[in-house]
Structure 1
Amino acid sequence: MAYNLFNHIQGKNGSRWAQFIKETGTENLLLVAIDAAKYTHKAMIATFYGDIIVKPFEFDSSLTGFEILKKKIQIEVERMGMKAVVVGIETTGHYYEDLVRSCFSERYHVRILNAATTAREREALLNWSKTDNLDLMAILQSIIHGRGTSNELPSGGVHTLQKLTRARRELVQEQTATKNLIRVYVDHIFREFQGKSVWTKGKREHVQPLSDLWGKSSRYLMRHCLHPSDILSLGKEGLRALSIRKNLKLRDQSIECLVNYAKQSISQPKEFVEAEQFLLIQSLDRLDLVEKQIRLLERKIEDLFVQTEGVVIISVPGIGVVTGAELYAEMGDISDFDHAGQLIKMAGTNPIVKQSGGKRPSYYAISKQGRRSFRNITYQVGKSLAANNPEMKQKYLALKDRGKLTGQAYIALGNRMIRLAFSMIKHQTLYRTDNPDYVLYDQIYKKLHIANVKKFYEKFVVPAQIA
């Protein structure tokens, strides 16, 4: 019997589960609920009707422990003449992953359950307590009700890319936190180094001595002569000589501004901020290390991304290598999706609709019921497209004219990009536009290193020209 997305209330996932139940028969199913943990797992074996065959027991999270689980399952399968084993495992951190792989290798039918699903089942038991045994009952109930998914754990290039892009995002967050810490230390040592408010032609204006706080010249001064007393001891001539000697490229205007701000600084004497100066140098070292790691990760991401089918989306103006790789990684393997709307729902950027009694539907905020990391990159993609893609910018302005908030418009463009990316990846096509200024080579050349530009053309452009 064929199934499709619409012949079950739980969609394709529900259709597959229902088909499996019909073909096997509920009386022939042995259910195993597993509560995964770091060192010791707990399991319970029951029938599809909820009759407990083997009471909750523990087994360690090693191959030895899994062999104990297998033996208990095999004994009950032979004793009761069961045809299939269904194992339900809750997604507890990353501890469940080895169990899932091992169960798939034994050809068990695995149901992976979200922790939120089992939490709802515990609520249905009208018991606010939480124990390992209650968790096992909730997992068992979830299996019986057809909850969870039967997909194998992600693997291959897409999964590796997801690990790398998420690691990069964590590093970027660390970079931001470190920069904020540096700003605090600079405030203690020389507050005016980051600029101050001055009156210019009757208007208050924020004036910075250096245009880029994170540039080469700023970082050198922060390390070696940040305190106002250091600036004043060097003076204008000393700063010019330092600039030439260290190739800092300090402009005369910046030098004059630094000296004037140092004279008027409210900062404490140098001997009182020695701790802040020490911590500042440590934070600058940490920032250099994090930025180096980010650069290495980005190159690794590019080299891997260009080998995947998802790299076609960098032909879209406004989608860079890292942004495109992160979007593709969060989308994952699209072969199991029928349309892009399913991906949008997985991101949690689908609008909430409320309609009843024949009234017109009302659209509220996005659901936020999907994957947060996917939702974040969807927003960032929309923001980038609004600024760097001429066609998407027009759509962004049209959304703003309709009264949409900036964030809503970014999400709408991000959803639009998910639909576009789904189609491009599925059909392996490049970006198409009527914009006369669009040149594919320019888009690829400015985003990829030369060696990867060649790989991209050999994979997607040359075959199309031959065809």
Structure 2
Amino acid sequence: MKYKMKQKQNQRITRINGATLVVGADIAKKIHVARAVDYRGIELGRDCVFHNDAQGLTKLSSWMKEVGQAHGKTEIVFGIEPTGHYWFPLAAFLQEQGITVVVVNPHHVSKTKELEDNSPTKSDYKDAKVIADLIRSGKYSEPKLPTKAYADLRILMNLREKVSASLTQVKGRIGNWFDRFFPEYAGVFKDWDGKASLMTMRAFPLPADIAAKEARHVLAHWKTEVQRGVGIKRAETLVAAAAASIGLTEGTTAARIELSTLLGQYDLFSEQLTGIMEQVLTILTDIPGAARMLAVPGVGLVTLAGFLAEVGDLSGYDHGQQIIRLAGLNLKENSSGKRKGKTGITKRGRSRLRALLFRAVMPLVAKNEAFKALHRYYTTRSQNPLKKKQSLIALCGKLIRVLHTLGTKEREYNALEMLGPVRLTQIGQVSA
């Protein structure tokens, strides 16, 4: 499908013809409703109410084929609004049956539901018809459900995000514990998650435990596992801080249990995070072009894995502009008559992908000479200079096109080729 919006919209409309059975379905957790129309919007057959199980999905498939045969339809286009995660098994089942699955924007369904009966009434039965009408008008898109390695990658990166959030939460709780029971600890160990610090927290959790020891005893405990980075001065500082601590002295029995529990959670989440990233690295080694994309200075494992988890197989995109639209980074403009409004990004795509790209492009501007030169050119050019944030958004699009080219054509990264139409004399020579 063409990546330009006008051509793509025309293709979507012409795809729905007299031989097409358009089915719209409202998806819930347990019971779904489907209705079928032709390309003019005339409803065909009765509605189909089916459950979210094997028997229900088989019923849906049989119903669509029966309606299609009864009205001479040779192709079925099945559409839903992708709210929640309940539609994933249904979409996978229908695709295995050779039925085309498309999605419509839930915002469009909400805005157009009054066109059906001039009423703001909402029901599963009504929404199914609204979805079918949107599809026959070409207001749909085809979801790219991940398969094979990309399916594993998406699950792992989603899991990584959840585990990372849990780990961050645990770190905050440990910081809260120190604020209550040992506020002076941060003056001894700048980072409490260092090896010597963790040993101290497990062996001497409270200031009273440390103050009861001599500095040489604390140092001897450290030296059983840590040979460098800590010495007698650090041990003496720790003992002195513990002796003068203003931390709470009541509830110490529960405080020991709390810290031990938090440290156990910290170890668990840290271990899980390491295991997840090891598996992600294994998967990336089997994805074509991954090594070349990782060769881009500033693009790391997490960035590339997150990008491919959201986008899927890059060979399914004809041009990087399709991914730009998927991320919601394509431009919008509000103009009327002589008035020309400000230009911004639509934000109509995947917010997680958009956020990942923005976070990735900031270190690129600092570490990648080509991106640094482009950023300098965009913000200082004589005509239409961009603000810094605008430049970063433009560079997000450039990063998408670079990764798409490297991933699909499997070419080696070359900074000079990456600059594209911008003249090197304008931005300065950049090393490859």
Q: TM-score normalised by the shorter chain: which range applies? A: 0.7 to 0.9
Q: Using a 3 Å threshold, how does the CA distance of structure 1 residues 174 and 110 change in structure 2: closer, same or farther? A: same
- Compute the displacement of 1:4 (Å): 4.5
Alignment correspondent of 1:266:
246
Question: Structure 2: how far apart are the matches of 1:308 and 1:19?
Answer: 35
Structure 1 residues 73-125: Cα deviation after superposition (integer angstroms, max 9, x where no partner): 33333333333333222223232222223323333343223333322322555
- The residue matched to 1:268 in structure 2 has which SS? coil
Alignment correspondent of 1:428:
410
- Compute the displacement of 1:184 (Å): 0.7
Q: Using a 3 Å threshold, how does the CA distance of structure 1 residues 71 and 226 change in structure 2: closer, same or farther? A: closer
- The residue matched to 2:35 in structure 1 has which SS? strand
- The residue matched to 1:345 in structure 2 has which SS? helix
Counterpart residue type for residue 270 of structure 2: E
1:188 touches 1:273 (CA, 8 Å); kept in 2?
no
Counterpart residue type for residue 36 of structure 1: I
Q: Using a 3 Å threshold, how does the CA distance of structure 1 residues 398 and 278 change in structure 2: closer, same or farther? A: farther
Alignment correspondent of 2:423:
none
More off after superposition, 326-335 vs 244-253:
244-253
Question: Structure 1: how far apart are the matches of 2:308 and 2:144?
Answer: 19
Matched, 1:292 2:284: no
More off after superposition, 423-432 vs 29-38:
29-38
Alignment correspondent of 1:134:
126
Alignment correspondent of 1:16:
11
- The residue matched to 1:222 in structure 2 has which SS? helix
More off after superposition, 239-248 vs 373-382:
239-248
More off after superposition, 397-406 vs 286-295:
397-406
Alignment correspondent of 1:316:
296
Structure 1 residues 14-72: Cα deviation after superposition (integer angstroms, max 9, x where no partner): 23323323xx42xx433322222332222223333333334434212222222322333
Alignment correspondent of 1:47:
38
CA RMSD, aligned part only?
2.8
Counterpart residue type for residue 280 of structure 2: I
Alignment correspondent of 1:371:
350
Question: Structure 1: how far apart are the matches of 2:202 and 2:376?
Answer: 44
Question: Structure 2: how far apart are the matches of 1:391 and 1:77?
Answer: 55
Show the 5 A alignment for 1:38-437.
Answer: 38-122=29-113, 124-125=115-116, 127-151=119-143, 153-194=145-186, 208-247=187-226, 249=228, 250-269=230-249, 271-311=250-290, 312-357=292-337, 362-364=342-344, 366-396=345-375, 408=390, 410-433=392-415
- The residue matched to 2:49 in structure 1 has which SS? strand
Counterpart residue type for residue 306 of structure 2: E
Q: Using a 3 Å threshold, how does the CA distance of structure 1 residues 60 and 242 change in structure 2: closer, same or farther? A: same
Q: Using a 3 Å threshold, how does the CA distance of structure 1 residues 20 and 397 change in structure 2: closer, same or farther? A: closer
Question: Structure 2: how far apart are the matches of 1:97 and 1:408?
Answer: 36
1:168 touches 1:297 (CA, 8 Å); kept in 2?
yes
Q: Using a 3 Å threshold, how does the CA distance of structure 1 residues 145 and 360 change in structure 2: closer, same or farther? A: closer
Greater RCO, CA 8 A, separation 6+? 2
- Compute the displacement of 1:267 (Å): 1.0
Counterpart residue type for residue 224 of structure 1: A
1:29 touches 1:83 (CA, 8 Å); kept in 2?
yes
1:179 touches 1:287 (CA, 8 Å); kept in 2?
yes
Q: Using a 3 Å threshold, how does the CA distance of structure 1 residues 359 and 426 change in structure 2: closer, same or farther? A: farther
Q: Using a 3 Å threshold, how does the CA distance of structure 1 residues 74 and 161 change in structure 2: closer, same or farther? A: closer
- Compute the displacement of 1:358 (Å): 5.8
Question: Structure 2: how far apart are the matches of 1:390 and 1:109?
Answer: 44
- Compute the displacement of 1:215 (Å): 0.8
1:302 touches 1:322 (CA, 8 Å); kept in 2?
no
Question: Structure 2: how far apart are the matches of 1:48 and 1:170?
Answer: 43
Question: Structure 2: how far apart are the matches of 1:265 and 1:176?
Answer: 26
- Compute the displacement of 1:165 (Å): 2.0
- Compute the displacement of 1:429 (Å): 0.7
More off after superposition, 120-129 vs 306-315:
120-129
Q: Using a 3 Å threshold, how does the CA distance of structure 1 residues 123 and 246 change in structure 2: closer, same or farther? A: farther
- Compute the displacement of 1:351 (Å): 4.3
1:229 touches 1:262 (CA, 8 Å); kept in 2?
yes
For structure 1, the residue ranges without an aligned partner over 5 or more in a row are 195-207, 435-467
More off after superposition, 133-142 vs 49-58:
49-58
Q: Using a 3 Å threshold, how does the CA distance of structure 1 residues 59 and 361 change in structure 2: closer, same or farther? A: closer
How many aligned positions are there?
410
Matched, 1:37 2:28: yes
- Compute the displacement of 1:156 (Å): 2.4
More off after superposition, 213-222 vs 116-125:
116-125
1:232 touches 1:263 (CA, 8 Å); kept in 2?
yes
- Compute the displacement of 1:5 (Å): 4.7
Counterpart residue type for residue 98 of structure 2: R
Question: Structure 2: how far apart are the matches of 1:39 and 1:412?
Answer: 43
Question: Structure 2: how far apart are the matches of 1:77 and 1:344?
Answer: 36
- Compute the displacement of 1:303 (Å): 1.2
- Compute the displacement of 1:395 (Å): 4.2
Counterpart residue type for residue 383 of structure 1: M
1:5 touches 1:15 (CA, 8 Å); kept in 2?
no
2:48 touches 2:60 (CA, 8 Å); kept in 1?
no
Question: Structure 2: how far apart are the matches of 1:236 and 1:374?
Answer: 51
- Compute the displacement of 1:409 (Å): 5.0
Counterpart residue type for residue 367 of structure 2: N
1:188 touches 1:276 (CA, 8 Å); kept in 2?
no
